[in-house]
Structure 1
């Protein structure tokens, strides 16, 4: 006789989603900015770092659709567990790397981890929430999850910066200890996934089943993308958004190191600055219900995409570290508000059988654009200056606001039926 586990309520799933999101992103905060600064400290040039970061993006690009299809075919939990294991492995390899080749191996592993991790947790939460209450609004709980993400990264960045400034082990680089703690936290995240993520019972998944069902799930997602102009436009926004992200994720610590004269000094300053910026990200995410009431979901997405790009331009034009970091904080404020409304619009175009695939397609475009952008912006920063590259990225990203216009027209025309 088998016992059936009671289904989770929307509120229970939301609490688990928020907790798991926070634990998943805390190690990212610990090492934020240092993914660029550690290779710089170990002798790599900006163009080489651009290639390394693009390697991760191209791996994600190649695996997003298969992993999204796999998550829809066999469940979200197995992919989340595999992602946690690879997160630990990639962080350890990155920490030990001394050469371009070993850093590349670390970023290939990280790319596989990011592809596996991209979407399953959010897809699991939305499935549970809508099963409990089909009319439940999604942007508010997604905003709470994004706020938890921001708070976790803020706390991690503050701790990472403090660890770099403290530097308790003189025999090793000040940048090493945050990576050690990040690996441990990724392991904790995997344990919590195993305990908290509960899915409906499935028939035992075999390799043959996964090989057969994954392409079917992929085709369903691609067919949905082909048939929906609104979805295509939403995914296209990521081309522009990802270029802005290069500016505030990768170019900001480089610009700061240029202004302050040393990577370790920049890391010590960037830690608390990142903590504040991610705190503002959380504020932006928490403001989503207010933005939705004032502007509607699509209207809020348009406003945040445009304003975010303008703040990135401000980062490049501002003189001195103070101006750079003020623009950085404002960029993260609007970045935090933009994510939940964008994903809420995506979920309107999908259903339980395609949800992870839609998130993966969105992430695939973002990762591919990010990688290609790195190959342009990093050399541009090297031959001109990081400031010029930041301004170019911000100005380009503003154009992405146009991609929300089809969703705005659909929103004004009436309720949207969920697709499968």
Structure 2
């Protein structure tokens, strides 16, 4: 095959992988949008207290802390496809159990399964895509494709949120709660996603690897998982760039508490009740996720001009600054404008951060590195949630939001090692 023909074949394969990434990303996150709010409201409707709902939701964070690295290593050793398929099956099982649950114990088991689904899912689809691209072009830049995936993610959640709201308002199953239909639709979407994962995802063969059979491969993965975890941790300990990227999550997670958890509390205080706050927060969330998609698209364009790292730095600073604006707002309009702008920057930051992480990983540790990043994010979020909600109770939600935003801006400094590396790489390419 001539060089031109080989290049054209590689381009077609990369384009096909990107289309699959975007389709699977949309189906993965659409049910999340459909059930936005239902995860809290259905347990409350079935008799749980707010404190009990908070405790079952926290289960996911504890699962992430315990299982992120092992499941990431499992994806690196067993393969992306079986891990993604298993996560889809668990998503369906967790959603069915959540739909049927009528006690604290059943809701807790459902959230436990959902936590396992999320840690299995964490990073595996991205890792598959990057593996597929680098199989055809090891030097290919994936930032633009990941930004497109971020755009699709935001559109999917925004569209799902609107669909979920319409399903609740429609309420055709009058004998059941209005909150049931969105869950039924979400179960169907998760099932469809799982089928498409099995059909569309094909693992990139590892160099020198023999054809795999299910049981021997799983046993080998179990033996290799501890070594892969150690390799991932060692890589973070010896790489200032990777350590800096992972530390960014500490600051980013605190910002997320400000614009995700504390925003409804601020709205409740401004509007005088939970029902009024929920009525405003639903459409605002859909609009915000639409802006998230726009942010991902803008980041893709901007990174081509100023570079991936500078785009990540700018997004981190703006995200934190807009959280501060939310805390300083004295009215609903100002708060929601800040909320939307925060998601705009949030959407820009995600794909750039992911692209930088992928630069620091190879085929054997890619999902482990992404899981290490998620583990730090989940741990920081859980601890920050305890601290900031207590602080908000002692002061106000607005004050806690300002503190969260100001603190998160400091995380931009953690990108400096990556910036120096990007400059060195660019200088080397120019010299060549």
TM-score by length of 2: 0.88
Q: Which residue in 1 is equivalent to 2:417?
A: 406
State the distance in 2 between where 1:42 and 1:394 align.
35
Q: 1:386 and 2:397 equivalent?
A: yes
Other structure's SS at 1:287 match: helix
Q: 1:368 and 2:372 equivalent?
A: no
Equivalent residues in 2 for 1:44-83, closer than 5 Å: 44-83=48-87
Other structure's SS at 1:9 match: helix
Mean Cα deviation higher: 272-281 or 43-52: 43-52
Q: 1:16 and 2:13 equivalent?
A: no
State the distance in 2 between where 1:304 and 1:289 align.
12
Q: 1:91 and 2:95 equivalent?
A: yes
Equivalent residues in 2 for 1:220-369, closer than 5 Å: 220-261=231-272, 263-369=274-380
Other structure's SS at 1:136 match: coil
Residue deviations 1:4-52 (CA, integer Å, cap 9, x gap): xx99811110000010001100011112233334444555555444433
Give the conservation status (yes or no) of the 8 Å contact 1:34–1:267. Answer: no
Alpha-carbon distance change, 218 to 243 in structure 1, aligned in 2, over 3 angstroms: same
Equivalent residues in 2 for 1:125-274, closer than 5 Å: 125-200=129-204, 202-206=211-215, 207-261=218-272, 263-274=274-285
Structure 2 unaligned residues grouped into runs of 5+: 1-8, 206-210
Give 1:260 shift: 4.1
Mean Cα deviation higher: 246-255 or 406-415: 246-255
Give the conservation status (yes or no) of the 8 Å contact 2:87–2:121. Answer: yes
Give 1:287 shift: 1.1
Q: Which residue in 1 is equivalent to 2:32?
A: 28
State the distance in 2 between where 1:367 and 1:177 align.
30
Residue deviations 1:157-199 (CA, integer Å, cap 9, x gap): 1111222333444444433322221122111110110111012
State the distance in 1 between where 2:325 and 2:180 align.
32
State the distance in 2 between where 1:254 and 1:169 align.
31
Residue deviations 1:300-334 (CA, integer Å, cap 9, x gap): 11111111011112222223332222211111100
Mean Cα deviation higher: 212-221 or 94-103: 94-103
Mean Cα deviation higher: 11-20 or 212-221: 212-221
Give 1:236 shift: 0.6
State the distance in 1 between where 2:329 and 2:180 align.
31
Mean Cα deviation higher: 273-282 or 139-148: 273-282
State the distance in 2 between where 1:416 and 1:31 align.
48
Computing the radius of gyration from Cα coordinates, the structure with the larger value is 2
Give 1:279 shift: 1.0
State the distance in 2 between where 1:235 and 1:77 align.
25
State the distance in 2 between where 1:172 and 1:261 align.
29
Alpha-carbon distance change, 24 to 125 in structure 1, aligned in 2, over 3 angstroms: same
Q: Find 2:110's aligned residue among 106, 113, 116.
A: 106
Alpha-carbon distance change, 323 to 37 in structure 1, aligned in 2, over 3 angstroms: farther
Mean Cα deviation higher: 361-370 or 31-40: 31-40
Mean Cα deviation higher: 38-47 or 113-122: 38-47
Give 1:382 shift: 4.4
State the distance in 1 between where 2:43 and 2:402 align.
24
State the distance in 2 between where 1:245 and 1:375 align.
13
State the distance in 1 between where 2:199 and 2:276 align.
40
Give the conservation status (yes or no) of the 8 Å contact 2:84–2:120. Answer: yes
Mean Cα deviation higher: 103-112 or 400-409: 103-112
Give 1:243 shift: 1.6
TM-score by length of 1: 0.91
Give 1:99 shift: 4.2
Q: Which residue in 1 is equivalent to 2:407?
A: 396
Give the conservation status (yes or no) of the 8 Å contact 1:51–1:374. Answer: no
Give the conservation status (yes or no) of the 8 Å contact 1:174–1:264. Answer: no
Give 1:154 shift: 0.9
Alpha-carbon distance change, 389 to 39 in structure 1, aligned in 2, over 3 angstroms: farther
Q: How many residues align?
A: 412
Other structure's SS at 2:307 match: helix
Q: Which residue in 1 is equivalent to 2:3?
A: none
